[in-house]
Structure 1
């Protein structure tokens, strides 16, 4: 990516993060902050107070997939603009006209519909279109918008609500949508132009990809057995993590304001501290995820949520809850760090683990599972509070789930797909070149390797592990990953990489061509030129084992 494109990409990241902040602030944080005052105004119980927010989240889950389809069909800009227009109108009506409990529920359902085209999955698609390198940092900046909303919105709206009432505070949020979110969504944010967000297509490559697109229309894009297993683990982790978030995000103000007797403006500071911890963790975690192993980081950082919840018990015998300001602050920060960093790790791992084809649907599905957990955590915690008279049992359930989440993340880290991704990263570090340079030909970066003996050994090892795999080559071309009954072969990031591997002889010694040959022969650094045609997706392909360094390096005169 050249400098101008890179700069534009970071502008998109900043814009997406700000819009994510405003959407989350409208749909999640504003009702959470103002609901304790709405409860008093409408004479509701705590159990009733959680119902509108929970119903809104569950409806959001139902609207996510249709919203994703609309975004795929009409594009990001129009769907975001319509989404924020609807949110602005509804928040204006919420503050001005809502007068019954039923109307509150209806408004939250309508808010969920417009939020489905302006939420995190949309921004994840935009960021993935602009970035391959620094994806973790970019995604972390976008996801931090949610926590920024949790930090800023309570601190801004709670004092306004305390002095002027919750309706004026709701009108303040509506004004921000009208004058900030709408212009940004329509005039600034956009996907990276081009057929593939990360590649410039040559006419030859475009022709080959068109053939693949036609075949995939009939076949459909599914997950193989290993990816399905990983998707289930991801779903469980999302659910458990978001249950904890719903438990504390939606109930901490009731715990502090109702049970502990703090002013709403004071109680909101702890909610802001929690979300500030998550905000910082998403930024720092995104950067660290580009340097260290994201899978292992997710396991370690998820334990911060456990440590944070324990702070609620540490100053008194379990299961009595603390009312010490220091321990409450430690809980807020540690839980926020654990939640934010783990959420960021899961979101940044998904494009690497599942590929970018169908990423919008995968992210939307996982986000929907997470929102379901969030809604259940919120409602179930409120029910336990009503039944038992305090939050001891409810918070203990969240504590146990935090340990369970770490165990599930450990299973993800030990999965076959995670091991394949680590191997790909190891090969890149070993050679000092990209995987495409290693397998597709001798490039200038590849020439800079001081010892090609280590490269040869790495290639031998890679061949040993991959030689018996069967690829669906059409899916490999479309998604960038070879697929087989035993799992995904990661490391073939681009369709061009796969074609280069065939041309160079690394794979394809039993590949059968079925006609429609490429009209432009292509020369390769590994000797000669060869026409690449459309090939049968059902045929088994074998890896051509490199038997010598000369086979690895070919006849390139630079060697």
Structure 2
């Protein structure tokens, strides 16, 4: 039992402190992922790089962020949560700091796309799913909602500050602030993040005293775990419904809005700080919306929740091009409805994956589903940049993104239409 567990004693379950530490890890990763959107216009002005070129680096970052998910979840099973997260945070901090020296597009692709993208992929939703399934038997939806909301809080904390720094001091100062934030979290993970409840002589929160405790140590290598689970899960229809609906989720959130909204606001005469503040306001709404979504997913049918989330998001995106033409209420209305729905899809999606594939396999299966999310985000980040470069406007991209969300609202109604879980074990 570590010193923090001894100090806490019986005052509250250590799982909640674990949630707080992981929340901060995800917060730092969220701020790191949001940084390229703040840097887009300054890099365009300083180096003459087109938005399509910068979007390529961002799309590589987003794709690797998602593709790392299943391998990160498998590495946590094989090597442990703490060592895996420590390596990721160290790589993230070093990569961001190194980017202050870049002067060519290939360097941005290598550093922000490959190095930072791969590192942030470890500190992502697969980490949340692993921690939730290990530490909690009850309130899993609520806890997943809280951890997922850290992405919104990352925007709230970082974006206006980073945009202001970029505007007054340049983009290189931005990367030093972000690198420092990632480095600060390292000692918290090293000293306060146990591997599992048994490491501090506890049971998962909400688990009955007589229930068996999972203590099996995974001996297979992460590649075998990840690909074996994929081979099993990919034979089921539910996997592909979850994968493609989450592909659309990624395309319509951090791929499009998260990457391009600040630049889009600039097309309508708004400053970078104003655009970042709009994203931050959406982050505030999403903090409440995603936490509420987690609470709802513990109580209501996840398919029905996802139907409404995707449908309302699609309508919001179709409204966005018109919002800039309404003097006062246009953008605030968009920020409210879209913000509440930003990543509210995550808790019910995790719940469905756990219901279909079981508690042990769910984090790795969900890692592959997150890969679909980030492939969709990469597709939208690059596609929207190319459409903007060729058409001079984001309107077509907004309509395409909104239409895809309406398609997803229909797809999700077909998920988990059976009564018993499907096995998805590593080969």
Q: RCO greater where, 1 or 2, for CA within 8 Å and sep 6 or more?
A: 2
Q: How does 1:477-556 map to 2 (within 5 A)?
A: 481=421
**Shift in Å at residue 482 of structure 1?**
7.7
Does residue 276 of structure 2 align to residue 275 of structure 1? Answer: no
Does residue 42 of structure 2 align to residue 37 of structure 1? Answer: yes
- Counterpart of 2:263 in structure 1 is 254
- Counterpart of 2:320 in structure 1 is 312
**CA contact 2:69–2:121 (8 Å) conserved in 1:** yes
- Counterpart of 1:12 in structure 2 is 18
Give me the CA root mean square deviation.
Answer: 3.0
Q: Distance in 2 between matches of 1:222 and 1:61?
A: 14
Q: Distance in 1 between matches of 2:42 and 2:351?
A: 37
Q: Distance in 1 between matches of 2:143 and 2:291?
A: 9
1:121-159 CA-to-partner distances (Å, cap 9, x unmatched) read: 022101111112110001001111111112221122111
**Shift in Å at residue 402 of structure 1?**
1.5
**CA contact 1:14–1:141 (8 Å) conserved in 2:** no
**Shift in Å at residue 38 of structure 1?**
1.8
**Shift in Å at residue 190 of structure 1?**
2.8
Distance 1:40 1:313, change over 3 A: closer
- Counterpart of 2:156 in structure 1 is 151
3-state SS of paired residue (2:320): coil
Moved more, 403-412 or 132-141: 403-412
**CA contact 2:250–2:376 (8 Å) conserved in 1:** yes
- Counterpart of 1:529 in structure 2 is none
Q: How does 1:86-485 map to 2 (within 5 A)?
A: 86-95=91-100, 97-108=101-112, 109-179=114-184, 181-194=185-198, 228-245=236-253, 246-257=255-266, 259-314=267-322, 322=325, 324-412=327-415, 415-417=416-418, 420=419, 481=421
Does residue 89 of structure 2 align to residue 84 of structure 1? Answer: yes
Identify the structure with the greater helix proportion: 2
Q: Distance in 1 between matches of 2:211 and 2:297?
A: 32
**CA contact 2:85–2:122 (8 Å) conserved in 1:** yes
- Counterpart of 1:495 in structure 2 is none
**Shift in Å at residue 76 of structure 1?**
0.5
- TM normalised by structure 2 equals 0.85
**Shift in Å at residue 270 of structure 1?**
1.1
**Shift in Å at residue 118 of structure 1?**
2.3
Distance 1:202 1:46, change over 3 A: closer
3-state SS of paired residue (2:72): helix
**CA contact 1:54–1:378 (8 Å) conserved in 2:** yes
**Shift in Å at residue 284 of structure 1?**
1.2
3-state SS of paired residue (1:330): helix
Q: Distance in 2 between matches of 1:352 and 1:482?
A: 9
3-state SS of paired residue (1:292): coil
Distance 1:43 1:482, change over 3 A: closer
**CA contact 1:305–1:336 (8 Å) conserved in 2:** no
One of 75, 93, 96 as aligned partner of 2:80: 75
Count of residues in Structure 1 that have an aligned counterpart in Structure 2: 401
- Counterpart of 1:540 in structure 2 is none
3-state SS of paired residue (1:44): coil
Does residue 59 of structure 2 align to residue 58 of structure 1? Answer: no
Q: Which runs of 5+ in 2 are unaligned?
A: 1-8
Q: Distance in 2 between matches of 1:297 and 1:12?
A: 28
Moved more, 44-53 or 275-284: 275-284
Q: Distance in 2 between matches of 1:369 and 1:194?
A: 33
**CA contact 1:276–1:333 (8 Å) conserved in 2:** no
**Shift in Å at residue 193 of structure 1?**
3.5
1:293-333 CA-to-partner distances (Å, cap 9, x unmatched) read: 22212212322212322432556xxxxx6364421121122
Distance 1:34 1:129, change over 3 A: same
Q: Distance in 1 between matches of 2:98 and 2:233?
A: 48
1:431-480 CA-to-partner distances (Å, cap 9, x unmatched) read: xxxxxxxxxxxxxxxxxxxxxxxxxxxxxxxxxxxxxxxxxxxxxxxxxx
Q: Distance in 2 between matches of 1:297 and 1:311?
A: 21
**Shift in Å at residue 362 of structure 1?**
0.5
Distance 1:221 1:262, change over 3 A: closer
**CA contact 2:66–2:372 (8 Å) conserved in 1:** yes
**CA contact 1:305–1:337 (8 Å) conserved in 2:** no
Q: Distance in 1 between matches of 2:314 and 2:70?
A: 32
- Determine which structure has more spread, i.e. the larger CA radius of gyration: 1
- TM normalised by structure 1 equals 0.66
**CA contact 1:35–1:49 (8 Å) conserved in 2:** yes
Q: Distance in 2 between matches of 1:404 and 1:5?
A: 47
